Amino acid sequence: MITKEIVVNGTKFRLTITDQIASQVNNLKSLYNTAYEDPESFDQVSAEISSTINEIASSVEPQASDSDLDGLIQEIIKVVDDKAAEVEKELQNKNTKPEKKPAKIASKKAKSRK
């Protein structure tokens, strides 16, 4: 979980990014794409878009006014996308680093006593 401060229209909001918030943001983006690609489906999708926006907005403190909602959602999408890109980059760096060979430990042979 990461807490971010977002400023929209001069108001500071605090958002804690959880897996649930990230999932809701990705769902919202998918709903936007569906409405964009198939304008006839907008009426069917709009209620779900509104519900998802309200769920995301409810995780922000203080509560956002209607006039801040659009800008707030845009900023939250950016924050979640940036975090996802950061995680992806870390994973790529982890996968591209050459594996280190374990250091050879010199073993001492025990002298046998006669």
pLDDT of residue 110: 53
The rounded average pLDDT for each run of 10 residues, N- to C-terminus, in the chain (114 residues) is 89 93 95 89 89 94 92 94 90 72 55 52
SS (H, E, C) 15-40: EEECHHHHHHHHHHHHHHHHHHHCHH
pLDDT of residue 43: 84
List the domain boundaries for the chain: 2-96
pLDDT of residue 106: 55
pLDDT of residue 50: 93
pLDDT of residue 62: 94
Over the range 50-83, which residues count as b (16 or more CB within 10 Å of their CB) and which as e?
eebbeebbebbeeebeeebbebbbebbbebbeee
What global pTM score does this model have? 0.75
Annotate 90-114 with DSSP letters as a single string: HHHHHHHSPPPPPPPPPPPPPPPP-
pLDDT of residue 102: 57
